[in-house]
Structure 1
Amino acid sequence: MSTDNTTQSAAPMRADGVRLAAGDAEVTVRPDLGCRLSSLRVGGLELLRQGDAYGSFPMVPWCGRIDHGRFRNGGALHQMPVNAAPHAIHGTGRDLRWRTARAGAREAVFTYRLTDPAAPWPYPGTVTQQVELAEDGGSLTLTLGVETIGDSFPAQVGWHPWFRRNLGDGGADVTVDFAAEWQEERGADHLPTGRRIPPKPGPWDDCFGMPQGVHVTLTWPGRLQLTVSSRAEWVVVYDEQAEAVCVEPQSGPPNGLNTLPHLVTPIDPLEVSTTWSWRTLS
């Protein structure tokens, strides 16, 4: 994934973010708001819940909750800020202003340094997010990469999209369809217990294992169908909110820095992609 400093003039650089467009799809990225997608419009329909806390944000350098905000790397114990007491949640990247490294008409690249003083991480490194619309406007691919510029460290990446439950104009609510191999049993503290159980019916705020890759379909009857896919093997589905549902592909389960760490080394960065593809039903 390139992180060069060139900026192509084709992408509108507006006060409210970087706008990408292809076919009948438009995406707005807010590097100043944690590099979240603040808008995804397809055929004039807004698919993401609006608001500075919503849209779709990258989860990096960890996903979901860390047990009491603490994780180990070898013999070192690190404490992350507790922002969902008693745990730390969703990484630090969503709280930072990212730098626009490159922007074109339908593709842009954004970066930040892990040791940014606004939300520090104990190890130096670089995070990159690439946002790319397909040429025909029929899909969107997001790619996150984490590289170290020093010691090795555990990390996770993922995305937390807030899809609108209802697209308005009297349409029906979205349905969510997927076939997971297992569900991570969730304890009273909202962390996985370590047991894998058969998937249960919703409502969910749960992590599921999909070892062949994430594949989840959201259908707004008569309006639009969207598929979230990724080579990542875990997905969190959250549908307990009236306004939105979340389908979150990620490289490991919640608390994974402690239970299933992926080590980022100087010769082995962490890179994961997700593709959202859609088709209209009307």
Structure 2
Amino acid sequence: MTSTSETNGTFLAEIAWEVANQVGGIYTVIRSKVPQAKKVWGNNYLLIGPYIHHNAIADFEEHEEYDNPVGRAVLACREMGFEVHLGRWLVTGRPNTILLNPQSVMHELGNIKHFYWKNHHISFSKHDPLMDEVMAFGYMVFHLISALARELMKDQHTLLAHFHEWMGGTAIPDIRREQLPVKTIFTTHATMLGRYLAMNDQDFYGHLPFYDWEKEAANFDIETIVRLERACVHGAHVFTTVSDVTGRECAHLLGRSPDVITPNGLNIERFSVLHEVQNLHHKHKRALE
């Protein structure tokens, strides 16, 4: 049976650092939604993540299906010198997946950071290997999304790009700046600054309206990350988060209320924001004392 999205020509690309890369809870969230996403979107569903060799050899199977918009976009990026792997993530549903190796564009890192500072006023003053990989990945995602959008336009098809967290979303500001024919969605599962504040303030939610985000980000030495997160939030056409509580956190710390609350599904309690759990622990502990 052909899905509705295949009939109307809309494609969904979902981008996350955790695609085929088991490094945190979001890996489980994305993996668990694949069967339903495939059911709704069919072959118009695509996942994009980083190529991490030791994970890819176990969870990813490459193929050479290039006679379609996704395949042609992959070839276009390879012509730019990118290392791009096309295949399927070996999870239930076996979704079409593209993995991008950030190491293949590290020679461009200076330019990537320079233009991010020039265009979005975010500086990268410290040496951070993970940040370097994330920024290189975002650069590759931008060019891949651009190539894919061009291919889809040839058949009058449209592209939605759904980004998870700042590590997956650094392409958003440039997509918006260049006015690519792509509608972007950004989901945060918990704000970075909120995590730090909650670990250091037992009454985090009570104090939430009074925090100065710039001051606190500098205090925890995460100013670049927080500015990247805010750029993703404000650059996306649609902003979502996973609970009303996290939505309030976003409004105060990121400067934008979510357009939609999208619970992680399956077992919502299992994926509750860590600092929500921490604060409940403190609350009940005080009640017992």
TM-score past 0.5 threshold: no
Q: Which has the larger radius of gyration?
A: 2
Structure-2-length-normalised TM-score: 0.29
**Bigger strand share:** 1
